[in-house]
Amino acid sequence: MSNKSIGTEQVYDARTLGAPRMFVLGLQHMFAVFGATVLVPALTGLDVATTLLFAGLGTLLFHLLTKGKVPAFLGSSFAFIGGYNAVRTIGTNPDGSAIYNNDLLAYACFGVAIAGLMYVILSTLFKVFGVKKVMRYFPPIVTGPIIIAIGLTLSSSAITKRQLQLDLQLSLPTITGNIRALEHDGIIAPGPLTDSTGGRKSQSYRFNPSHRTAIGVTMHRNTLRLCAIDLQGRPIATLSRTLPYANTNAYYQRMGSAINDFAAETEKAHGPVLGVSFAIPGAISADGTVITFNDSTGATGVTIDTIAQSVRYPRQLIREAAAIAMTETLHDTAISDAICLYLNRRPSGALIMNGRLHRGPNLCDGAIEHMTLVPGGKPCHCGRRGCMAAYCSPENLPEDYESIPGFFSVLEQGETHHRERMNDWLDHVALAIANVRCVICADVVIGGEAALYLDHDNIADLQRRVTALSVFGTDHFTLRLSRSDENSGAIGAAMQFTDPYMDALCGWDTGPHPSSPAPTRTKIDTATMGV
């Protein structure tokens, strides 16, 4: 008997497993498929005896051609039930039930025979290109694509088995089996019963966005903020704690303990936590493991292993500006390309391209705050001179001993000197935006502390200034305020785990730098579809 273990490696010739195992596998497969072989003709109107006869003949031919390598019984396929029913349906009764003409099944059988030519095509491909190359494009997975299709159909609303059958053109037993699998994994959950149309009420199902969760963390000078989100990016739990930053093991242990306790409560109330992501003001290394610059807390040079030394979950780093930009795609699902500019004490930026955060190979794409705006100008906190951050910080607006809110309060009263300072500040912000838009002709989102005080007139004025600086003068774009809030950084950080999970669940192969628009995020509602 072979030393191979079933399920631990691919087996292309079952004979290597030995006769006893082949017998057990064949017997198991026969019992599993025989019932379906009888059920399919019963559901479609085909003759049961004829179906069994040709299933047996097909199985014998299959074993002859494959030289007995696969201990399988070729039974009926549920995949064609939708086609059979579509062909034989000629109308509906007053109660809504279908009227069938089984004489039309001959035409459907011809279609199935033609579909069987795929065996010939695939066998030719295997012969010409070899097993490994073909298996890269046609992996031996049947239920996976079906489950993905069901998941995609369920993503927008609650839906019944009957509606799934109509939408996917699959048999009811196939739908039922896969719904059970999705329920078992927590991916879907029963919804409300639909209104009766004369018979018993139908059970609806809906996507369960909290069957997996993720946690985002923002670390500032004096505060620690945690936010758990579901797979739709919705906050399901938050925690804010005063915790002055210190680059010490004691600080990281206290932070890790808070995160672990928060994660445990999240898992208890919702689903398993996919991971913990830290949104860091400043810059991080190309491999996402080291904080390469952070003057806000002084954490420059600190690694993810140090920060999360006691965190019991997968962990990542992300620039805080990039994390906040990710939440812009939640607030505006129609967003495509956008320049996100966050005007805080330390201005920062990020780019959205094709509906997704653009990271770039060094994870710093969109960090426009350190573009040179005035050569040899004011010193910047990065150590250089003339950076955009040195001119576009809202701290440039107040006079000595004046606060930012105080500045805008006086500005509203029409004070001339304050208006001059505001105009100078707007000119620098407009120049920064115009420079970036020469490279990326995108819409603009303005956020940060300064955005709290900018009104509609300020935004319209800023847009006019940007347009006046554009070499394309007539170019049209949208400039709007960000819809982010105090939790946006943590939410966007957590999306580093939820977005890839959803991509994998739904079969979207977007990769880290997608060149095509991201799938639209649809909000799950509670609507039901009756039958």
pLDDT value of residue 529: 27
pLDDT for residue 159 = 60
Instruction: Name, of 35-44, 294-303, 333-342, the range with top average pLDDT.
Output: 333-342
Specify burial of residue 315 (Cβ count, 10 A radius: 0-12, 13-18, 19+). buried
What CA–CA distances, in Å, run from 339 to 35, 173, 336, 383, 416? 59, 49, 10, 25, 31
Buried/exposed code over 358-384 (b: 16+ C-beta within 10 A; e: otherwise):
bbeeebbbbbbbbeebeeeeeebbbee
Partners of 481 in the beta sheet? 446
Domains of the chain and any CATH numbers: 14-207 (1.10.10.10), 333-482 (3.30.420.40)
- What's the whole-number mean pLDDT along residues 486-493? 93
Q: Could you count the other beta carbons within 10 Å of the beta carbon of residue 329? A: 23
The answer, yes or no, to whether residue 160 has pLDDT greater than 50, is yes
Rounded Cα distance between 524 and 333, Å, is: 13
Average pLDDT for 15-21: 75
Task: Give the pLDDT of residue 392.
Answer: 93
Q: Which residue has the higher pLDDT, 299 or 161?
A: 299
Report the share of the chain in percent with pLDDT over 90: 34
Quote the pLDDT of residue 163: 66
Highest mean pLDDT among 35-49, 94-108, 445-459: 445-459
Mean of all residue pLDDT scores within the chain: 79
Confidence of residue 495 (pLDDT cuts 50, 70, 90): very high
pLDDT band at 192 (very low <50, low <70, confident <90, very high): confident
Strand, helix or coil for residue 128: helix
> In the prediction, which pLDDT does 230 show?
93
Cα dist from 340 to 72, 359, 432, 476, whole Å: 57, 13, 12, 17
CB 92 within 8 A of CB 38: no
**pLDDT tens digits for range 291-321:** 888 877 888 889 999 999 999 999 999 999 9
pLDDT tops 80 at residue 522? no
CA dihedral over 94, 95, 101, 106, signed as positive or negative: positive
Least confident segment among 153-167, 260-274, 284-298: 153-167
pLDDT at 147: 53
Q: Which residues of 440-478 are buried (b: 16+ CB within 10 A; e: fewer)?
A: eebbbbbbbbbbebbeeebbebbbebbbebbeeeeeebe
> What pLDDT score was predicted for residue 187?
82
Which range (129-143, 201-215, 474-488) has the least confidence?
129-143
Quick check: 488 pLDDT over 60?
Answer: yes
Dist CA 283 CA 274 (whole Å) = 24
- Max mean pLDDT among 84-88, 162-166, 250-254 falls in 250-254
How far, in Å, CA of 128 to CA of 122, rounded? 10
Confidence band for 523, pLDDT divided at 50, 70 and 90: very low
Q: 501-520, pLDDT tens digit by residue? A: 888 877 655 444 333 344 44
The arithmetic mean of pLDDT across residues 130-146, rounded, is: 60
And the tokens for 418? 């304050």
Q: Are 96 and 198 in contact (CB under 8 A)?
A: yes
Residue 179 has pLDDT above 90, yes or no: no
pLDDT tens for 419-473 read: 999 999 999 999 999 999 988 888 999 999 999 999 999 999 999 999 998 876 6
| Residue 317 β-bridge partners | 278
Confidence category of residue 135, pLDDT binned at 50, 70, 90: low
Dist CA 226 CA 238 (whole Å): 6
Could you tell me the pLDDT band of residue 524, with boundaries at 50, 70 and 90? very low
DSSP state of 141: -
The pLDDT, as a whole number, for residue 114 is 79
H or E stretch covering 214: strand 213-219
**Is the pLDDT reported for residue 285 higher than 50?**
yes
Helix axis angle, 143-154 to 488-506, nearest 10°: 140
User: Which percentage of the chain shows pLDDT scores above 70?
Assistant: 74
Q: Please give the average per-residue pLDDT across 56-70, as a whole number.
A: 79
Rounded to the nearest 10 degrees, the angle between the axes of helix 416-439 and helix 456-469 is: 50
End-to-end Cα spacing for the chain: 53
Q: Where are the beta strands (DSSP E) in 166-212?
A: 188-193, 203-207
Confidence of residue 137 (pLDDT cuts 50, 70, 90): low
Taken as a whole, the chain contains a residue count of 531
Give the residue, 99 or 204, on which the prediction is more confident. Answer: 204
Sequence-ordered strand ranges (E) for 96-154: 98-100
Other C-beta atoms lying within 10 Å of the C-beta of residue 211: 18
pTM equals: 0.65
